[in-house]
Amino acid sequence: MAPVTRKPVFLLLFFITMLLAISNFGSALGTYKPCKEIVLYFHDIVYNGKNAPNATSAIVSAPEGANLTILAGQFHFGNLVAFDDPITLDNNLHSKPVGRAQGLYFYDSKKTYSAWLGFTFSLNSTDYEGTINFIGADPIMLKTRDISVVGGTGDFFMHRGVATLQTDSFEGDVYFRLRVHTKFYECW
Amino acid sequence: MAPVTRKPVFLLLFFITMLLAISNFGSALGTYKPCKEIVLYFHDIVYNGKNAPNATSAIVSAPEGANLTILAGQFHFGNLVAFDDPITLDNNLHSKPVGRAQGLYFYDSKKTYSAWLGFTFSLNSTDYEGTINFIGADPIMLKTRDISVVGGTGDFFMHRGVATLQTDSFEGDVYFRLRVHTKFYECW
Amino acid sequence: MAPVTRKPVFLLLFFITMLLAISNFGSALGTYKPCKEIVLYFHDIVYNGKNAPNATSAIVSAPEGANLTILAGQFHFGNLVAFDDPITLDNNLHSKPVGRAQGLYFYDSKKTYSAWLGFTFSLNSTDYEGTINFIGADPIMLKTRDISVVGGTGDFFMHRGVATLQTDSFEGDVYFRLRVHTKFYECW
């Protein structure tokens, strides 16, 4: 009779094991499904001394010998930029913004275009209300770059994830548009 | 006899389900209780060219045409500030500090007072020993602003949470005091 | 017969309790074993106006009166540095790099050497492919300093942890080498 009574226990063991595997208990699968994902665009217009009314960002530091109205030579190494860029649902600069991307990018390489990013999406639309915080390296010449989503507030309370960046467009040193595919793997 | 022997299994199942629900397995409740919370104040005295002995912070970058001893026009857009501010348990600048708030704030908007924050609380008191790391956007004109608590060390090892900021006082462009209500939702 | 059939259930209960204790369910033990750890070194050569070909970092902002080719007086307070430093497996600057440490350090104290760090390890070797993101305070005069590992991508997808920094060597204001012991406590 013993085998019969043990059966539900093994079923339960199996069920628990599955639960743990689905959760974050060191699964070795390597592929995870986001619990939430969003694709957004943001638009950056760098101040160049002439476009003050339209500019959404400005160079505020530069290496020795460079100035603040033109990105520095040597892959902009040493340029720190403050930005407050409109976020849109599609790739049109003139679409109604759903929030602002605010923070810094900091060109940190002398050998290629690469920047360190620290910024926040402050969303304020009918769909989302809250902030998402990002940091990471952005080796701009790669087609896609992954950065970390380290936290959030409001609708994104305590969320974590990974965001994939793509340069959707750029015009000289003045305008660029970034496509940000944010994938959350910890939702609350 | 089978039903009798299965009973404890179902009780166990119920118990496990409750445990998972209490934990962070995607609860749909939307309200969470912090596992730890702390209210602290920090005090920032910006260097203005005359207050070197008292100043706890300094403007280190500015947009074109601005200087480093006065916050820039246009909502201080482009000013990067380094700070090392005393943290106190109450709102008195002269109370015994329990640690230092260290890092940066970076005014990033031309349309309102708003800054991007990256900083650390280094606590060193009888109550707490360790660091707490914060990043997020600070739209200063709002009564309360939420930023992310992205990690910690020592007594705050691996903690995560949300901090609510309130401007508790400000005097012109030189002094401000921030009330920081840190709520941890992941404690270790 | 009942006691016999219940036995496996209690064994299971014990097993689950252990699993939960080993996992992050608010254990009160206070000591955790990393699920992964790595020791790496990175090498920083600050631009001083004469070493452009070798320099891996540059001062890009300074407090009033200071310049960009020498770290400022008063514990370098206010100096912001952009870096793109080689990472090696041992303490030899000339070993084959396994990646780059990229980001910023920001001297934020007038009373001691202390910096705020925001940076990324971009690893690209046979062992590891991916990025690790760090932030935290670095009170440089202490033998060891802990900062937060707030996220990662690639092989470090969603990882979190704590990194212990040690100044392994420094030569004047121009070269320093940091030993970074990264301990992950959340692996995926």
Tell me which of A9 and B86 has the higher pLDDT.
Answer: B86
pLDDT attached to residue B17: 62
For residue B10, is pLDDT > 80? no
**Range with the poorest average pLDDT among A143-157, B124-138, C13-27:** C13-27
Q: What average pLDDT does this structure show over B39-43?
A: 97
Q: Across all residues in chain B, what is the average pLDDT? A: 88
Q: Does B5 touch chain C (CB under 8 A)?
A: yes
For chain B, percent of residues with pLDDT exceeding 90: 66
Residue A67 CB-density burial (10 A; 0-12 exposed, 13-18 middle, 19+ buried): exposed
Q: ipTM score of the complex? A: 0.84
Residue numbers in B near A8 (CB within 8 A): 6, 9
pLDDT attached to residue C184: 98
For residue C2, is pLDDT > 50? no
pLDDT attached to residue B30: 57
Q: Does B135 touch chain A (CB under 8 A)?
A: yes
For residues A159 and C158, give the distance between their C-alpha atoms in angstroms, rounded to a whole number: 11
Q: Does A69 touch chain B (CB under 8 A)?
A: yes
pLDDT attached to residue B62: 85
Q: What average pLDDT does this structure show over C4-25?
A: 59
Residue numbers in B near A83 (CB within 8 A): 108
Of C12, C60, C106, the CB nearest to B82: C106
Q: Can you give the pTM of this predicted structure?
A: 0.86
Q: What average pLDDT does this structure show over C29-38?
A: 86
Say yes or no for a CB contact (<8 Å) between C146 and B154.
yes
Give the tens place of pLDDT for each residue, C45-79.
999 989 988 999 999 988 888 888 888 888 899 89
Given pLDDT bands bounded at 50, 70 and 90, which one contains residue C26?
very low
Residue numbers in B near A153 (CB within 8 A): 136, 146-148, 162
Q: What average pLDDT does this structure show over B37-52?
A: 94
For residue B7, is pLDDT > 70? no
Say yes or no for a CB contact (<8 Å) between B27 and A153.
no
Q: What average pLDDT does this structure show over B173-180?
A: 93
Half-sphere exposure (Cβ direction) of C133: Cα atoms closer than 13 Å: 27
Give the tens place of pLDDT for each residue, A28-72.
445 899 999 999 999 999 999 899 889 999 999 888 888 888 888
Q: What average pLDDT does this structure show over A73-100?
A: 93
Q: Does B2 touch chain A (CB under 8 A)?
A: yes
Size of interface A-C (CB pairs under 8 A): 120
Joined together, the tokens standing for residue C50 give 């004469």
Given pLDDT bands bounded at 50, 70 and 90, which one contains residue C23?
low
Given pLDDT bands bounded at 50, 70 and 90, which one contains residue A26?
very low
Q: Which residue spans within B23-174 are E strands per DSSP?
A: 36-45, 57-61, 80-88, 99-107, 114-124, 129-139, 145-154, 160-171
For residue C165, is pLDDT > 50? yes
Are B187 and B159 spatial neighbours (Cβ–Cβ below 8 Å)?
yes
Say yes or no for a CB contact (<8 Å) between C108 and B83.
yes
For residue B24, is pLDDT > 50? no
The string of DSSP codes covering A54-93 is: T--EEEEE--TT--SSS--TTTTTT-EEEEEEEEESSS-T
Q: Across all residues in chain C, what is the average pLDDT? A: 88
Residue numbers in B near A152 (CB within 8 A): 148
pLDDT attached to residue A21: 53
Given pLDDT bands bounded at 50, 70 and 90, which one contains residue A152?
very high
Closest CA to C108 of A139, A74, B47: B47
Strand, coil or helix: C125: coil
Residue C65 CB-density burial (10 A; 0-12 exposed, 13-18 middle, 19+ buried): exposed
Dihedral sign, Cα of residue C116, residue A56, residue A36, residue A165? negative
For residue A172, is pLDDT > 90? no
For chain C, percent of residues with pLDDT exceeding 70: 84
pLDDT attached to residue B8: 65
Q: What average pLDDT does this structure show over C107-118?
A: 93
Given pLDDT bands bounded at 50, 70 and 90, which one contains residue B26?
very low
pLDDT attached to residue C27: 45
For residues A129 and A106, give the distance between their C-alpha atoms in angstroms, rounded to a whole number: 28
For chain B, percent of residues with pLDDT exceeding 70: 84
Residue numbers in A near C5 (CB within 8 A): 2, 5-6
Q: What average pLDDT does this structure show over B12-29?
A: 56
Q: What average pLDDT does this structure show over C132-139?
A: 98
For residue B158, is pLDDT > 90? yes
Q: What average pLDDT does this structure show over A154-171?
A: 96
* Identity at B2, one-letter amino acid code: A
